[in-house]
Structure 1
């Protein structure tokens, strides 16, 4: 492992911080205890709830772990489009007998308050999504003994994060489930059509920056981890693979949908949040995705109640079923066992490659 990550975790496997409940303390603790890097997702939580989850996690393991923060977002330039989209959802309001949420709710996700807690009571790793912190913030975390990781989806973002002082990058390919974690939500720049595949992105980023890379996007098997390590990554980050574990806090309907033949493919959509996110294609995405404006987190707040009501009523067709492109390979193993299985597969893939190369040289 490179110097910025040395000693933090035994295996080159990180569990993605999945906002919305999946990345709970039991999951993060199980992954860290098994030798990977477990992570909590502070997104959409209050500062108090984040602090409580950190306290719980520390009670479950003494191994290093990470906490992920969402960067504050600018006001939407499309307020009228949000209003029109809300009118379009009138049928969903009737279907689930629940009102739309307040699209004018906070856009900063209590960033400053959460950051203050993490500076006052430091954790081993803090990662950032939807933007890059200032050098002052990253330097302050470094002085507190915290390593920092910034999520990037392009070489330009990678260079920005390196210049700002990040210790490492989470390089996210378009295959990844959930939100594309890049800096911009501009339709001309985001991942709805211009995003990079993971292997190409790793190569481009490695040619641009010198800090370590954690690869993310559609990774479900040890052989894929071997591929991204060979491409220049220092570790692999997996989300969907851990979402179906018993320790995950994801809704049971969400877990079951990963391997349900009814949900055959994934798609990038703004339907639920106003920002590109990859999920299993369901009725909500088909009916509303093409009309959703680039307005995050306004649409997230607008549809929050609908998504919760759909889950409570047992209807996956109205839920945000975030999933990476490899979702059909999900395995319902305990998280610690999954880490060990992935490492065994990684070792097998490395051995097979070594044998192939050695055989080729002999011939």
Structure 2
């Protein structure tokens, strides 16, 4: 299957313009490696990984690509900005590990001062004089954030996350199609960073539609949760397989149950609606729901587990290895792009 060439694939040296989102709790280095080896680019959501564990994980990545030499590790590491703010010294250690390990990309999202961490990644004394600094991916939920990231922060890649996206995002963000269109219109010219569409996608046909819109690639999240490599539990995966697009909801209830209250203003999460949401909405104290969540997670009770999911989940019907997912996405993208060319034939 022929490679798809965009500004993203050229920047990363990949064949397929598909990125596995940096999902904390839903990704690990095994999944990231498989996505990259399948032709795309894998990220690890490392928001809750201690520095030494991250260093150990990145050694696994290095061993998985024995022919790299001095080239960067072909995966990315993602962090949540407001969590970095709450543990400054540990945050600096984490970013130092990323730089020292010569990781190719760093993804940042959901912070009130993300530029602080971008600047730290670019200026830290970690590593050696020959160490390459990671490419900076910035996740945005508005045109204003995209302009700031591109023009002032000089981000290497903009991830435009629409409302359909699973996990955390903008509560009032428009659809992915609308947001990507607006950002592309606001960032004209050859010097603009690649813009990736993120939110609600399940297959390569949808990815191809965003490529024809002008995006340089797409980020898929929920689709990669339905792989053997994802650390999501069997119960969570079964919940996703049984879900429809209408099974998801945007809410802060899942965070209240987990005790994560620090999200920036305007951010909430999309996940499978269950009894956690019902309990919070009915006024049951957060502490009681938290106890139910703890027990539900231990017992494998899907009604009291947090399962993040995008709206595209209704198009996902099986669990398959990440490399097979990548092969399927690649095939569908190429076929859809070829099919679209027939629209111009006489």
Indicate how the Cα distance of structure 1 residues 211 and 348 shifts in structure 2: closer, same or farther if over 3 A, else same.
same
Indicate how the Cα distance of structure 1 residues 261 and 178 shifts in structure 2: closer, same or farther if over 3 A, else same.
closer
Whether the aligned pair in 1 keeps the contact of 2:140 and 2:159 (CA below 8 Å) is yes
Shift of 1:244: 0.8
Shift of 1:205: 1.0
Q: In the alignment, which residue of structure 2 is the partner of 1:184?
A: none
Whether the aligned pair in 2 keeps the contact of 1:176 and 1:218 (CA below 8 Å) is yes
Is 1:140 equivalent to 2:123 in the alignment? yes
Shift of 1:136: 2.5
- Counterparts of 1:3-152 in structure 2, within 5 Å, are 6-20=11-25, 22-61=26-65, 64-72=74-82, 106=86, 110-131=90-111, 132-134=114-116, 136-137=119-120, 139-140=122-123, 144-152=132-140
State the superposition RMSD in angstroms: 2.9
Query: What secondary structure sits across from 2:115 in the alignment?
Result: coil
Indicate how the Cα distance of structure 1 residues 262 and 161 shifts in structure 2: closer, same or farther if over 3 A, else same.
closer
- Counterparts of 1:191-270 in structure 2, within 5 Å, are 191-192=170-171, 194-209=172-187, 210-260=192-242, 264-270=246-252
In structure 1, distance between residues paired with 2:149 and 2:231: 31
- 2:153 corresponds, among 150, 164, 174, to 164
Whether the aligned pair in 1 keeps the contact of 2:157 and 2:194 (CA below 8 Å) is yes
What residue ranges of structure 2 are gaps of 5+ in the alignment?
Answer: 1-5, 125-129, 256-260
Q: In the alignment, which residue of structure 1 is the partner of 2:313?
A: 327
Query: What secondary structure sits across from 2:324 in the alignment?
Result: helix
More helix, by proportion: 2
Indicate how the Cα distance of structure 1 residues 257 and 264 shifts in structure 2: closer, same or farther if over 3 A, else same.
farther
Say how many residue pairs are matched: 311
Deviations 1:309-342 (A, max 9, x none): 3222011111111000011222312110110101
Q: In the alignment, which residue of structure 1 is the partner of 2:258?
A: none
Whether the aligned pair in 1 keeps the contact of 2:36 and 2:42 (CA below 8 Å) is yes
Deviations 1:55-85 (A, max 9, x none): 222222356110001113599xxxxxxxxxx
Q: In the alignment, which residue of structure 2 is the partner of 1:278?
A: 270
In structure 2, distance between residues paired with 1:243 and 1:124: 22
Query: What secondary structure sits across from 2:241 in the alignment?
Result: coil
In structure 1, distance between residues paired with 2:44 and 2:243: 30
Whether the aligned pair in 2 keeps the contact of 1:222 and 1:345 (CA below 8 Å) is yes
Shift of 1:42: 0.7
Indicate how the Cα distance of structure 1 residues 311 and 164 shifts in structure 2: closer, same or farther if over 3 A, else same.
same
Shift of 1:259: 2.0
In structure 2, distance between residues paired with 1:291 and 1:168: 41
In structure 2, distance between residues paired with 1:236 and 1:320: 25
Shift of 1:264: 4.9
Query: What secondary structure sits across from 1:9 in the alignment?
Result: coil
